[in-house]
């Protein structure tokens, strides 16, 4: 799974770079508009260490943010699955919060909480929790009648058991959503860093933009892409491992 | 038959004249586009004046003036053919040329760089660069202000332990809360707005201008493609004449009322009283000395800008400025 993901990323990235090069050489564009491959290689060698550390920094924030958002989505999803007034209120509140664009909220968060770790974490969590929440709400609100009926008629159904049954029956879907939300967590963290943080790859991209250096931005995109590909593959492997443990297969 | 022939000749003549007129008027209005460096505000008032008062049309040009912004790069647009003219900062031009971009400078808009540092005179006095010692100074890491400030600090013989560089954001809260003592602003655009806000709180402001301490880092210039300049020098001249006439008339105090009305149209969120001050400061930055023509290229300042960027390893090599400055 891991080599496949990385290989797929390489195909996408190099197709993109190939497209840029075709454009560069067919339109006779300078290295300022699109850097030459040798320039990119030179930038890669010069910036590799600094940009790798910045990407790891961003990824760390994104992973913690994603874990938080998954917990948050499960808590809200489990409470919101009920067709009670509280359940409906939580759903509406969750949808409303998501309606505010993060680019508008981020500067306020940075003013209130400063430009450190907590703000980046909060932005990452806010961006990636909603798709997870939607899936959790959908999964948790849909009864698995074949199994649940037995526990209901025998009076042994508890909410913990209900959640467990529905999670187990939809594990593949949940794993896919959680792996997908990793991309959003990373994107959210980068947006936050780009707007106001002092660290991370988003901050490095902002500096590169000030310096009109597309080569640095392309290297940053490479590192972001490969890191996400590896992380997503690991999440999928984790999902498979959990399923194996639960089913014993 | 004779009458028919005469009518035919008359009709043909009329058709020819009409065609010639239409062709001529189409040729007279050459279509070009001009990408500004920033949004439509006081920093681009000359272009706004030329556009509003039909100065481009009078020069036989149909100019599409496009607002700029942080994500816009006039040089890239010129090279890609999306714009014919643009405004770019000197550091952009130098970076682009070292990477082979065929951009050339045809006029320098700001003779004094508007990028300056705001401070509270009741808290400090800056008579020499030594007065910066121990201060917390705001800079945009990766931006021009960082380059300029690092040059000033090197001139003063300071290192990173002597001053604290603070990463600047969109909001001014750290300056308002006195966490940062010197904050970078565009003297003509943001300067009057923040001064007014601080004045409301009973505070005064002053500006630290690097040029007063010998650092003349060139700001915005008008640029075009070297091919356009070589192939259509007459068109470039017409555009430049109209644009600079726009600047000249916009900065003429006789036209102030009209200019303020134009600024209000494009920038209604800024009160007229502030725009009045912005305009006054812009005049001093564009033409600090009446003997210097608007748009004149200050070659010495370009040389210094290039040297600063080279010293800070922002340029891999130096280039012959004669190839850029036209």
Shared domain for B153 and B106, answered yes or no, is no
Tell me the per-residue pLDDT of A190-215, one tens digit each, with 9 for 90 and over.
Answer: 888 887 778 899 999 988 988 889 99
Annotate B149-182 with b (16+ C-beta within 10 A) or e (fewer): bbbbbeebebeeeebebbbbbeebebbeeeebbb
Chain A residues touching residue B143 (CB < 8 angstroms) = 210
Range of the domain at B173: 115-213
Whether B60 maps to a domain, the answer reads yes
**H helices within chain B, ranges in order?**
2-28, 45-52, 55-58, 74-80, 90-98, 144-156, 173-176, 190-200, 226-231, 233-251, 256-266, 272-286, 299-311
Long-range contact list for A203-207, CB < 8 A, 24+ apart?
A: A203/A54, A204/A50, A204/A51, A204/A54, A206/B142, A207/B141, A207/B142
Shared domain for B121 and B96, answered yes or no, is no
Out of B70, B102, B143, whose CB is closest to A30? B102
* Ranges A187-196, B134-143, B228-237: which has the least confidence: A187-196
Would the CB atoms of A30 and B92 count as touching at under 8 Å?
Answer: no
Would the CB atoms of B167 and A115 count as touching at under 8 Å?
Answer: yes
Would the CB atoms of B171 and A110 count as touching at under 8 Å?
Answer: yes
Shared domain for B231 and B317, answered yes or no, is yes
The helix-helix angle for A214-247 and A2-27 (nearest 10°) equals: 160
Q: Name the pLDDT band for A75 (thresholds 50, 70, 90).
A: confident
Shared domain for B83 and B105, answered yes or no, is yes
A27 in B contact zone (CB under 8 Å):
yes
Shared domain for B181 and B243, answered yes or no, is no
Comparing A232 with B325, the larger pLDDT belongs to B325
Q: How far apart are CA A198 and CA A203, in angstroms?
A: 6
Shared domain for B262 and B132, answered yes or no, is no
Q: Please name which of B117, B100, B76 lies closest in space to residue B217, comparing C-alpha atoms.
A: B117
Is A101:A38 a contact under the CB 8 Å cutoff? no
Phi, psi of B115 (to 5 degrees): -75, 105
Comparing A133 with B133, the larger pLDDT belongs to B133
Domain boundary among B213, B228, B253: B213
Shared domain for B165 and B253, answered yes or no, is no
Annotate B206-245 with b (16+ C-beta within 10 A) or e (fewer): bbbbbbebebbbbbbbbbbbbebbeebeebbebbbbbbbb
Is A28 buried (19+), middle (13-18) or exposed (0-12) by CB count in 10 A? exposed
A30 in B contact zone (CB under 8 Å):
yes
Whether B242 maps to a domain, the answer reads yes
A24 in B contact zone (CB under 8 Å):
no
Q: How far apart are CA B35 and CA B326, in angstroms?
A: 19
Shared domain for B174 and B307, answered yes or no, is no
B interface mutation test: which of A35, A191, A212 has the most B CBs within 10 A? A212
Shared domain for B140 and B289, answered yes or no, is no
Domain boundary among B164, B184, B213: B213
Q: Name the pLDDT band for B42 (thresholds 50, 70, 90).
A: very high
Would the CB atoms of A212 and B170 count as touching at under 8 Å?
Answer: no
Tell me the per-residue pLDDT of B253-274, one tens digit each, with 9 for 90 and over.
Answer: 999 999 999 999 999 999 999 9
**Residue B280 scores a pLDDT above 60:** yes
**Residue A81 scores a pLDDT above 80:** no
**Residue B24 scores a pLDDT above 60:** no
Whether B207 maps to a domain, the answer reads yes
Q: What is the CATH number of the domain that holds B196?
A: 3.40.190.10
Is A226:A9 a contact under the CB 8 Å cutoff? yes
Chain B residues touching residue A33 (CB < 8 angstroms) = 76, 79-80, 101
Average confidence score pLDDT of chain A: 85
**Residue A73 scores a pLDDT above 90:** no
Average confidence score pLDDT of chain B: 91
Average pLDDT over residues B281-302: 95
Would the CB atoms of B79 and A33 count as touching at under 8 Å?
Answer: yes
Shared domain for B34 and B47, answered yes or no, is yes
**Residue B8 scores a pLDDT above 90:** no
CATH of domain A2-247: 1.10.3720.10
A106 in B contact zone (CB under 8 Å):
no
Phi, psi of B218 (to 5 degrees): -65, 140
Chain A residues touching residue B79 (CB < 8 angstroms) = 29-30, 32-33
Name the domain count of chain B.
2
Other CB atoms within a 10 A radius of the CB of residue B69 amount to: 12
Shared domain for B205 and B258, answered yes or no, is no
Domain boundary among B213, B244, B267: B213
Shared domain for B251 and B309, answered yes or no, is yes
What is the structure's pLDDT at B243? 97
How many residue contacts between A and B have a Cβ separation below 8 Å?
A: 57
**Residue A13 scores a pLDDT above 80:** yes
Average pLDDT over residues A137-148: 84
């Amino acid at each position: 799974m891991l080599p496949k993901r990385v290989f797929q990323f390489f195909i996408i990235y190099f197709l993109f770079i190939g497209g840029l090069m075709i454009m560069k050489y067919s339109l006779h564009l300078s290295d300022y508009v699109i850097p030459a491959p040798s320039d990119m290689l030179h930038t890669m060698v010069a910036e590799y260490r600094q940009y790798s550390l910045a990407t790891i920094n961003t990824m760390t924030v994104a992973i913690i943010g994603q874990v938080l958002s998954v917990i948050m989505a499960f808590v809200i999803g489990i409470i919101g699955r009920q067709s009670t007034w509280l359940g409906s209120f939580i759903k509406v509140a969750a949808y409303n919060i998501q309606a505010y664009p993060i680019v508008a909220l981020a500067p306020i968060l940075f003013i209130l909480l400063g430009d450190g770790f907590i703000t980046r974490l909060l932005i990452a969590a806010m961006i990636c929790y909603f798709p997870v929440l939607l899936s959790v709400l959908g999964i948790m609100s849909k009864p698995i009648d074949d199994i649940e009926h037995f526990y209901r008629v025998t009076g042994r159904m508890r909410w913990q058991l209900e959640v467990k049954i529905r999670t187990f029956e939809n594990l593949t879907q949940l794993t896919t959503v959680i792996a997908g939300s990793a991309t959003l967590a990373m994107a959210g963290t980068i947006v936050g860093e780009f707007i106001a943080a002092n660290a991370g790859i988003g901050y490095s991209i902002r500096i590169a933009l000030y310096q009109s250096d597309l080569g640095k931005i392309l290297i940053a995109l490479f590192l972001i892409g490969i890191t996400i590909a590896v992380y997503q593959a690991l999440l999928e492997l984790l999902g498979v491992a959990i399923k194996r443990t639960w089913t014993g297969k | 038959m004779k009458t028919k022939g005469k009518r035919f000749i008359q009709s043909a003549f009329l058709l020819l004249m009409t065609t010639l007129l239409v062709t001529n008027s189409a040729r007279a209005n050459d279509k070009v586009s001009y990408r500004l460096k920033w949004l439509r505000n006081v920093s681009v008032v000359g272009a706004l004046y030329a556009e509003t008062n039909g100065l481009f049309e009078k020069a036989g040009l149909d100019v599409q003036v496009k607002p700029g912004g942080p994500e816009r790069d006039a040089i890239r647009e010129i090279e890609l053919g999306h714009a014919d003219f643009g405004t770019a900062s000197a550091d952009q031009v130098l970076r682009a040329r070292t990477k082979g971009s065929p951009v050339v400078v045809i006029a320098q808009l700001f003779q004094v760089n508007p990028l300056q540092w705001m401070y509270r005179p009741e808290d400090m006095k800056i008579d020499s660069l030594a007065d910066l010692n121990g201060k917390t100074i705001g800079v945009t890491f990766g931006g021009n202000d960082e380059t300029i400030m690092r040059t000033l600090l090197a001139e003063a013989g300071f290192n990173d332990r002597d001053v604290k560089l603070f990463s600047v954001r969109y909001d001014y809260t750290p300056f308002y809360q006195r966490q940062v003592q010197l904050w970078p602003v565009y003297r003509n655009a943001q300067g009057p707005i923040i001064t007014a806000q601080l004045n409301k709180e009973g505070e005064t402001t002053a500006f630290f201008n690097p040029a007063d301490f010998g650092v003349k880092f060139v700001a915005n210039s008008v640029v075009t493609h070297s091919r356009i300049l070589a192939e259509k020098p007459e068109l470039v001249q017409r555009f430049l004449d109209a644009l600079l006439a726009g600047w000249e008339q916009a900065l003429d105090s006789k036209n102030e009322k009209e200019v303020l009305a134009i600024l209000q149209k494009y920038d209604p969120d800024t009160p007229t009283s502030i725009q009045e001050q912005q305009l006054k400061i812009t005049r001093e930055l564009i033409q600090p000395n009446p003997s210097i023509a608007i748009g004149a290229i200050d070659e010495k300042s370009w040389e210094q800008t290039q040297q600063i960027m080279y010293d800070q390893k922002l340029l891999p090599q130096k280039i012959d400025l004669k190839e850029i400055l036209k």
